[in-house]
């Protein structure tokens, strides 16, 4: 009897880089709406509420807020996350939607050369990075990491 592969997963992780140029880097929060296109796993962080973004101090960073969506019949193309990253007391909210249909292209770009998506180009900017992991016996996982608190993030490679 052949074993069935586990259902694929769309993972979102959000952190703050807390660059020196970002005065609010230690006070950033994220509010992730209920994702679409699958079933949110129980171990995910809360949706619909402010979650403080951790600052990864050496040598051991705190747990990063992460959401795992077991994908439905529409696969990665039918899934999405919507989130808002804000400064202290909700200041300067940045709304971001990560459409799963964009993930295969972003992952393909990263196989050629590391590439990211810029959501806010300020002194307290935000970028995202897409990955794909497929290991035997584990679910195929589409991983998207959003990093806030970045002093003037740049697209890599330049002009991409």
How does pLDDT run across 27-53, given as a tens digit for each residue?
A: 999 999 999 999 999 999 999 999 999
DSSP 36: B
Output the 3-class SS for 35-84: CECEEECCCCCCCCCCEECCCCCCCCCCCCCEEEEEECCCCHHHCEEEEE
> Whole-model pTM above 0.85?
yes
pLDDT of residue 57: 66
Q: Which tokens is 27 given?
A: 């006070």
Report all structural domains of the chain as residue ranges with CATH numbers, in order of start: 9-150 (2.60.270)
């Amino acid at each position: 009897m052949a074993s069935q592969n586990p259902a694929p997963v769309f993972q979102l992780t959000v952190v703050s880089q807390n660059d020196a140029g970002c005065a609010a880097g230690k006070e950033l929060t994220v509010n992730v709406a209920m994702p679409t296109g699958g079933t949110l796993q129980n171990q995910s962080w809360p949706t619909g509420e402010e979650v403080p973004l951790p600052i990864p101090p050496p040598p051991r960073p705190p747990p990063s807020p992460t959401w795992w969506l077991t994908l439905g019949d529409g696969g990665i193309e039918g899934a999405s996350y919507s989130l808002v990253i804000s400064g202290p007391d909700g200041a300067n909210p940045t709304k971001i939607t990560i459409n799963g249909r964009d993930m295969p292209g972003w992952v393909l770009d990263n196989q050629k050369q590391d590439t990211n998506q810029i959501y806010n180009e300020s002194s307290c900017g935000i970028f995202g990075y897409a990955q794909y992991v497929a290991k035997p016996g584990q679910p195929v996982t589409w991983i998207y990491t959003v990093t806030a608190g970045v002093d003037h993030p740049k697209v890599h490679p330049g002009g991409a």
